[in-house]
Amino acid sequence: MSKVCLVIGAGDATGGAVARRFAREGYTVCVTRRSLDKLEPLLTQIRQAGGVAHGFGSDARKEEDVVALVEHIESVLGPIKVMVFNIGANSPNSILTETARRYTKMWEMACLAGFLTGREVAKRMVTRQHMSSDVQGVQPKGTIIFTGATASLRGSSHFAGFSGGKMALRALAQSMARELGPMGIHVAHTIIDGAIDTEFIRTQFPQRYALKDEGGILNPDHIADAYWMLHQQPRDAWTHELDLRPYMEKF
* Structure confidence by residue, pLDDT tens digits, 73-110: 999 999 999 999 999 888 888 999 999 999 999 999 99
DSSP string, 121-174: HHHHHTT-SS--EETTEEPPSEEEEEEEEGGGT---TT-HHHHHHHHHHHHHHH
Q: How many CB atoms lie within 10 A of CB 189?
A: 26
Within 13 Å of residue 227, how many CA atoms lie on the same side as its CB?
35
Distance CA 13, CA 9 (A): 10
* Structure confidence by residue, pLDDT tens digits, 112-140: 999 999 999 999 999 987 555 444 455 67
Helix axis angle, 160-180 to 100-107, nearest 10°: 30
| pLDDT exceeds cutoff 70 at 33 | yes
User: Tell me, what's the pLDDT at 238?
Assistant: 97
* Structure confidence by residue, pLDDT tens digits, 175-232: 999 999 999 999 999 999 988 998 888 888 898 899 999 999 999 999 999 999 999 9
Q: What is the rounded average pLDDT of the residues 229-238?
A: 96
Which CA distances in Å does 248 have to 37, 45, 76, 195? 37, 32, 46, 11
The one-letter amino acid code at 130 reads H
Query: What is the average pLDDT score of the chain?
Result: 93
Q: What is the CATH number of domain 4-242?
A: 3.40.50.720
Sequence-distant (6+) residues with CB within 8 A of 142 are 80, 81, 82, 83, 121, 122, 124, 125, 128, 184, 185, 186
Distance of CA 18 to the CA centre of its chain: 8
**pTM of the predicted model as reported, rounded to 2 decimal places:** 0.93
